[in-house]
């Protein structure tokens, strides 16, 4: 039994509240047991204490005495010790979290423990590939493991709660935050959401290696107009229900402990004050019983959005809609009590939200032991350990996407003189990516280091940076950018290229060129890189282009001129090892894109599962059909695309039947043969097209996939079961619709597949 509630409410009552969780195994107690404990506690709380549970601050160690600053005279300190703060973000480390927990548990009247939250997006200290990169692995098991490892590191550092995964479907590569999610497809995004949530949360939230996950940003944030961060979202209901919401529904089914709302307005209503989303869909339709946190000051931003005249009105709108925890706007702590006293909102509304917060604290076992996560020994043992670094290497290898490989230039074969050129070749920081939590700066294995380690000593490896990394004049955070003016490094790079058999060029975006607030209008290679690439190409066209970036890039010139292109994203801790081993063929690439790469930025937004339109593209020479006159309709590299050193041949699709009923199913199978002399993994993808529907259908949608290893020369029969769930869609009114009629099933290596068969739902 814990002492903190005892001191105030008496032994017998505290025992009644807490006894059901005094044994760690009973973290799995039933919902009704937990609910009764929550209600007992709620009954003891004053209105101010309740509102405190809904107040979240970003606090540093100034309150715990371990930094020089002293926050103890501040308003926030007083609020902390009087139970007016329920959760804290950005405070880290076993030591500091323990101290702050002590402060609150010891000094506040009820001693209700705090929740410590943080953005653990793709690792805590050990950096895994950025989420978009990881999604290219299509390996759900590995993604679950990286989330689990990230969660274990965070938990050992005193954290209870991550603001991840971001499960916003994203169709516009100009938006910087595409790096944080799993790309453009709702089905894949949903599968990955479940894997990541399961990874973070484990089987039991009360386990001290599990942390609570957050499904974010609810909803529509990925559809910011023109890819400009925080911009308005104007989408129709079909897009909302069929593209945006399915991953969130999957998150509810996976028991995500929390949801975070979004900054954007969606069809003229800010997500933070959106009753339709937060109440009608999330609570009423999906029966979600976790907690909803606002995004950073998104309640305050209701004033900027122009729907609230002041913060008090914003507080009212947000709580009424269902935003339960106020992150950093101070709207609730300032105004909720007043609003209740004035009869503007009912206390019962607050109680619902407080219950959800307390429930999470019970679920995490914090009433059993508020300090269980803050353990210095475990922190030393778990954070950044070797096992996690090895895992980072493993998934990095599966996340690399081979975009082009003319004449099998790759894998490298007995090459004597290699020039390694480019601003990212020796960069140990870029591979760590944006949203890097507690990553140690410059701690990634660089590409150059990776090559040095794997190439035989007989290879002559030389390096020139070509273009420098620098900090631009308007760079608020002083982050490295790619130089836009200084060509002084070109000469050395060109000389090197001239005297080498092969050039490996490492180009792309530095870590902070994608991510929040990093939308770009031009998504070509930034700075002087393209110019350098062209000049090197003129001297020695035997180039392997290794790209490091957090979003799809526009690569039309590169695709036309460079013989081999490797998409290596921001791959995390062991990036250099993973890339080098792929270049020499020790690792066979198996990644496939989860976002389309455009031919031209003017094609954006571009995604494979678009509508057919009334004028679909037809024969050449036509004018009056849906197209741009100056660029082909297709993307440069489609969703699902990626090459391998192996070659795979698909046979014809065989269907067990050419019709099915609602209660029946059809088995679709295809033989996939590895016709090369190298073992390799292939992601076999199944898409379905509804041929005629009451609402205009999409050209095709991913419904299933399998990542399988096929040995050299072997043929594998890959089978899928088509069931009614794969044939339905959401109508604009949000209702699911299963309509009789014809369907096409496609099975192949990417979304541009044409190998198909038809069947009928009777």
Of 200 and 296, the one with the shorter C-beta distance to ligand NOJ is: 296
Q: Which residue is nearest to ligand NOJ (CB)?
A: 163
Q: CA 486 → CA 491, 571, 697, distances in Å?
A: 12, 28, 51
Of 328 and 452, the one with the shorter C-beta distance to ligand NOJ is: 328
Of 261 and 446, the one with the shorter C-beta distance to ligand NOJ is: 261
Question: Cβ 195 to ligand NOJ, closest distance in Å?
Answer: 19
Of 295 and 398, the one with the shorter C-beta distance to ligand NOJ is: 295
Question: Cβ 179 to ligand NOJ, closest distance in Å?
Answer: 12
Question: Cβ 330 to ligand NOJ, closest distance in Å?
Answer: 15
Cα 471 to the center of its chain, rounded Å: 27
Q: For the purposes of burial, counting CB atoms within 10 Å of the CB of 426, is it exposed (0-12), middle (13-18) or buried (19 or more)? A: middle
Q: Does residue 154 contact residue 388 with C-beta atoms inside 8 Å?
A: no
456 three-class SS? coil
Q: Does residue 322 contact residue 294 with C-beta atoms inside 8 Å?
A: no
Intra-chain end-to-end CA distance of the chain, in Å = 61
Q: Does residue 618 contact residue 188 with C-beta atoms inside 8 Å?
A: no
- Rounded CA-CA distance 452/431 in Å is 17
Of 117 and 718, the one with the shorter C-beta distance to ligand NOJ is: 117
- Rounded CA-CA distance 80/354 in Å is 17
Spatial neighbors of 481 by CB under 8 A, at least 6 apart, are 469, 470, 471, 472, 475, 510, 513, 526, 527
Of 515 and 605, the one with the shorter C-beta distance to ligand NOJ is: 515
Of 181 and 246, the one with the shorter C-beta distance to ligand NOJ is: 181
Question: Cβ 197 to ligand NOJ, closest distance in Å?
Answer: 15
Q: Which DSSP string corresponds to 669-734? A: EEEEEE-SSS-EEEEEEEEEEESS-SSPPBS-EEEEEEEEEE-TT-EEEEEEEE-GGGT-EE-TTS
CA nearest neighbour of 42 among 347, 364, 336, 366: 347
Of 207 and 216, the one with the shorter C-beta distance to ligand NOJ is: 216
Strand-strand pairing, 481-482 and 469-470 = antiparallel
Question: Cβ 462 to ligand NOJ, closest distance in Å?
Answer: 42
Residue length of the chain: 762
> Which residues, in sequence order, are bridge partners of residue 716?
672
Radius of gyration of the chain measured on its C-alpha atoms? 27
Question: Cβ 600 to ligand NOJ, closest distance in Å?
Answer: 29
Count helices and strands in the chain by DSSP H and E runs = 23, 29
Question: Cβ 307 to ligand NOJ, closest distance in Å?
Answer: 19
- Rounded CA-CA distance 156/153 in Å is 5
Spatial neighbors of 619 by CB under 8 A, at least 6 apart, are none
Question: Cβ 168 to ligand NOJ, closest distance in Å?
Answer: 10
Q: Please give the DSSP secondary-structure letter assigned to residue 630.
A: T
Q: Which run of H or of E encompasses 49? A: helix 47-53
Q: Which run of H or of E encompasses 736? A: strand 736-737
Of 517 and 541, the one with the shorter C-beta distance to ligand NOJ is: 517
Of 227 and 423, the one with the shorter C-beta distance to ligand NOJ is: 227
Binding site for ligand NOJ (CB under 6 A): 119, 163, 216, 295-296, 516
Question: Cβ 277 to ligand NOJ, closest distance in Å?
Answer: 16
Question: Cβ 227 to ligand NOJ, closest distance in Å?
Answer: 16
Of 259 and 367, the one with the shorter C-beta distance to ligand NOJ is: 259
- Catalytic residue, from 119, 168, 295, 368: name it: 295
Q: CA 516 → CA 25, 230, 404, distances in Å?
A: 40, 9, 30
Q: Does residue 118 contact residue 89 with C-beta atoms inside 8 Å?
A: yes
What six digits make up the tokens of 495?
A: 């000389």
Q: Return the HEC string of 153-192.
A: HHHHECCCEECCCECCCCCCCCCHHHHHCCCCCHHHHHHH
Of 435 and 463, the one with the shorter C-beta distance to ligand NOJ is: 435
Beta carbons within 10 angstroms of residue 39's beta carbon: 13
Strands (E) located in 192-334 = 214-218, 258-261, 265-266, 269-270, 291-293, 326-327
Question: Cβ 373 to ligand NOJ, closest distance in Å?
Answer: 19
- Rounded CA-CA distance 467/478 in Å is 18
Spatial neighbors of 422 by CB under 8 A, at least 6 apart, are 465, 466, 467, 505, 506, 507, 529, 532, 546
Cα 278 to the center of its chain, rounded Å: 21
* C-alpha torsion 92→392→184→686, nearest 10: -140
Of 49 and 516, the one with the shorter C-beta distance to ligand NOJ is: 516
Question: Cβ 345 to ligand NOJ, closest distance in Å?
Answer: 26
Question: Cβ 296 to ligand NOJ, closest distance in Å?
Answer: 4
Beta carbons within 10 angstroms of residue 283's beta carbon: 16
Told to judge if 690 belongs to the known catalytic residues of this protein, a careful annotator would answer no
Q: Does residue 635 contact residue 598 with C-beta atoms inside 8 Å?
A: yes
CA nearest neighbour of 325 among 359, 281, 376: 359
Give catalytic residue positions.
Answer: 295
């Amino acid at each position: 039994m814990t002492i903190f509630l005892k001191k105030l409410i008496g032994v017998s009552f505290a025992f009644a509240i807490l006894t059901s969780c005094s044994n760690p195994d009973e973290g799995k107690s039933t919902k009704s047991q937990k609910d009764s404990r929550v209600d007992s506690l709620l009954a003891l709380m004053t209105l101010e204490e309740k509102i405190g549970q809904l107040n979240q601050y970003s606090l540093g160690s100034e309150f715990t005495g371990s930094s020089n600053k002293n926050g103890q005279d501040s308003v926030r300190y007083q609020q902390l010790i009087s139970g007016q703060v329920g959760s804290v973000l950005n405070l880290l480390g076993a030591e500091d979290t323990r101290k702050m927990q002590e402060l609150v548990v010891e000094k506040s009247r009820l001693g209700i423990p705090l929740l410590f939250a943080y953005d653990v997006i793709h690792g805590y200290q050990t950096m895994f590939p950025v989420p978009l990169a990881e999604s290219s692995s299509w390996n759900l098991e590995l993604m679950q493991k990286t989330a689990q490892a990230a969660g274990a590191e965070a938990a050992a550092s005193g954290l209870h709660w991550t603001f991840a995964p971001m499960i916003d479907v994203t169709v516009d590569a100009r938006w910087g935050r595409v790096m944080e999610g799993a790309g453009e497809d709702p089905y894949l995004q949903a599968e990955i959401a479940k894997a990541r949530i399961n990874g973070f949360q484990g089987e039991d939230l009360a386990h001290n290696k599990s942390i609570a996950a957050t499904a974010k940003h609810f909803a529509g944030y990925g559809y910011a107009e023109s890819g400009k961060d925080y911009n308005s979202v104007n989408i129709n209901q079909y897009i909302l229900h069929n593209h945006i919401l399915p991953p969130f529904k999957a998150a509810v089914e996976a028991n995500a402990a929390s949801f975070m709302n979004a900054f954007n307005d969606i069809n003229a209503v800010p997500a933070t004050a959106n009753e339709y989303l937060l109440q009608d869909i999330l609570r009423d339709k999906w029966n979600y019983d976790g907690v909803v946190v606002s995004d950073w000051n998104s309640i305050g931003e209701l004033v900027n959005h122009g729907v609230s005249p002041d913060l008090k009105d914003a507080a009212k709108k947000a709580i009424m809609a269902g935003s339960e925890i106020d992150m950093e706007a101070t709207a609730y702590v300032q105004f909720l009590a007043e609003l209740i006293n004035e009869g503007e909102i009912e206390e019962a509304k607050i109680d619902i939200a407080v219950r959800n917060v307390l429930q999470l604290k019970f679920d995490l076992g914090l009433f059993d032991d508020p300090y269980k996560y803050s353990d210095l020994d475990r922190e030393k043992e778990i954070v950044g350990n070797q096992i996690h670094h090895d895992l980072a290497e493993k998934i990095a290898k599966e996340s690399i996407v081979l975009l082009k490989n003319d004449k099998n230039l790759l894998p490298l074969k007995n090459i004597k003189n290699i020039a390694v050129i480019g601003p990212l070749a020796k960069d140990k920081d870029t591979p760590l990516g944006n949203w890097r939590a507690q990553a140690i700066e410059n701690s990634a294995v660089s590409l150059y280091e990776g090559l040095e380690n794997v190439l035989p000593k007989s290879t002559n490896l030389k390096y020139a940076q070509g273009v420098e990394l620098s900090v631009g004049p308007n760079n608020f955070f002083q982050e490295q950018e790619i130089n836009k003016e200084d060509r002084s490094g070109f000469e050395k790079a060109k000389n090197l290229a001239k005297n080498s058999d092969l050039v490996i060029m490492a180009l792309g975006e530095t870590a902070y060129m994608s991510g929040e607030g990093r939308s770009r209008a031009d998504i070509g290679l930034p700075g002087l890189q393209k110019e350098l690439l062209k000049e090197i190409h003129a001297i020695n066209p035997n180039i392997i282009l290794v790209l490091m970036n957090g979003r799809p890039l526009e690569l039309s010139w590169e695709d036309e001129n460079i013989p081999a292109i490797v998409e290596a994203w921001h791959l995390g801790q062991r990036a250099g090892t993973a890339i080098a081993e792929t270049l020499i063929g020790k690792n066979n690439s198996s990644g496939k894109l989860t976002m389309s790469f455009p031919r031209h930025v003017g094609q954006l937004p571009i995604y494979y599962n678009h509508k057919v339109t009334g004028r679909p593209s037809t024969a050449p020479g036509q004018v009056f059909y849906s197209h741009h006159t100056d660029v082909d309709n297709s993307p440069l590299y489609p969703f699902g695309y990626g090459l391998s050193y192996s070659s795979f041949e698909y046979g014809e699709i065989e269907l067990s039947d050419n019709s099915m009923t609602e209660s029946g199913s059809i088995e679709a199978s295809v033989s996939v043969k590895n016709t090369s002399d190298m073992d390799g993994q292939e992601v076999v993808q199944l898409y379905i097209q509804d041929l005629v529907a009451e609402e205009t259908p999409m050209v095709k949608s991913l419904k299933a996939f399998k990542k399988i290893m096929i040995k050299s020369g072997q043929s594998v029969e890959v089978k899928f079961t088509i069931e009614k769930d794969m044939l339905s869609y959401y109508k604009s009114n949000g209702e699911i619709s299963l309509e009789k009629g014809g369907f096409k099933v496609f099975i192949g290596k990417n979304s541009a597949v044409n190998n198909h068969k038809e069947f009928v739902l009777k």
